Amino acid sequence: MGQMDGRVTLITGAARGQGRAHAVRLAEEGSDIVALDILADVDALTYRLATQADMDETGRLVRATGREIVTCRADVRSQADLDAAVVAGLDAFGHIDTVVINAGISGKKAPTWELDTETFERLLDINVLGAQRTIKAVVPTMIETGKGGAIVFINSNLGIKARPNLAAYSASKHALIGLMQSLAIELAPHSIRVNSVNPSGVGTELIFNEATYREFCPGVENPTLEDAIEGFKKLNLLPVPWVEPVDVANAVLFLASVQARYVTGVALPVDAGNLTRV
């Protein structure tokens, strides 16, 4: 018996990285999956986003657990895309009772007063409004089903503690805390629990890119991960440079499962002591 037997989980940003880890981990515990991703790049980002090949691999890994998956190309900036993905999931499985709001981007790093409006708007549109659009698409059917459920936001330690030169990203993640807690209050009468996982740096493409390495290695030409790894380690209390996607996925599994049946409105750090480090 798995902890998610009989469950159906919708996951945004599911084609690779953390989203893939959540899909596979929940499938291992018995959940069928509705996987959404934009499968295209977003202008002005310093790293590439997932491709159809990435989504195909997520599908393969989920099916290898013995569970089923529906994959959808969906941009969280589009309510129509999200509504269509929910319909596809309901057509395939009959219900959706678990949601992992994982899709999000980072952005240009600069002093707050130097950020252009477009950068701020892009982050809020994807990270915050994308989450709200997802909720708008899926929550009505969860309420109508009447069997409760769980919603987990994938947030960041920067939703709890800010860092300089990341105002737009930090503002978007702080906003998700408020959204999560408001939803926890609103959905409690329907036995739908709402929480977030707030990791430090996670070992995915979001940090594995040259732009990030340059932050830790000023003055180094063409810096590599090896050059930057000591800088990553300095962010955490435990002697590790980052947490792995599976570490976040295990926290998602806990919050989504009956093991956390009375846990709601909580921001759970999975951060190797990042928030505690002075």
Residue 213 annotated to the active site: no
* Measured distance CA(173)–CA(169) in Å, rounded: 6
CA 16, 77, 119, 181 torsion-angle sign: negative
pTM reported for the whole predicted model: 0.95
Q: Closest Cα partner for 183 from 142, 123, 126? A: 142
Sole residue written with tokens 């195909």 = 56
251 in Cβ contact with 268 (< 8 Å) = yes
* Measured distance CA(141)–CA(82) in Å, rounded: 13
pLDDT at residue 278, rounded to an integer: 63
Amino acid identity for residue 68 in this structure: E
Helix pair 245-256, 17-28: axis angle to 10 deg? 50
Q: What are phi and psi of 39, to 5 degrees?
A: 55, 40
Fold of domain 8-200+245-267: Rossmann fold (3.40.50)
pLDDT at residue 218, rounded to an integer: 86
pLDDT in tens, the chain (278 residues): 899 999 999 999 999 999 999 999 999 999 999 999 999 999 878 788 999 999 999 999 999 999 999 999 999 999 999 999 999 999 999 999 999 999 999 877 889 999 999 989 999 999 999 999 999 999 999 999 999 999 999 999 999 998 889 999 999 999 999 999 999 999 999 999 999 999 999 999 888 888 889 888 888 989 999 999 999 999 999 999 999 999 999 999 999 999 999 999 999 999 999 999 86
Pairing of strands 8-12, 32-37: parallel
* Measured distance CA(158)–CA(160) in Å, rounded: 5
Spans of all domains in the chain: 8-200+245-267, 208-241
Sole residue written with tokens 């919708």 = 10
* Measured distance CA(258)–CA(29) in Å, rounded: 12
In the set 47, 169, 213, 262, the catalytic residue is: 169
Q: Closest Cα partner for 251 from 240, 239, 241, 259? A: 259
Q: Closest Cα partner for 132 from 78, 192, 169, 206? A: 78
242 in Cβ contact with 200 (< 8 Å) = yes
* Measured distance CA(57)–CA(112) in Å, rounded: 38
pLDDT at residue 223, rounded to an integer: 93
pLDDT tens readout for residues 54-94: 999 999 999 999 999 999 999 999 999 999 999 999 999 99
pLDDT at residue 2, rounded to an integer: 96
Cα 12 to Cα 33, 43, 75, distances in angstroms: 11, 19, 9
* Measured distance CA(138)–CA(81) in Å, rounded: 12
| C-alpha torsion 82→85→91→93, nearest 10 | -100
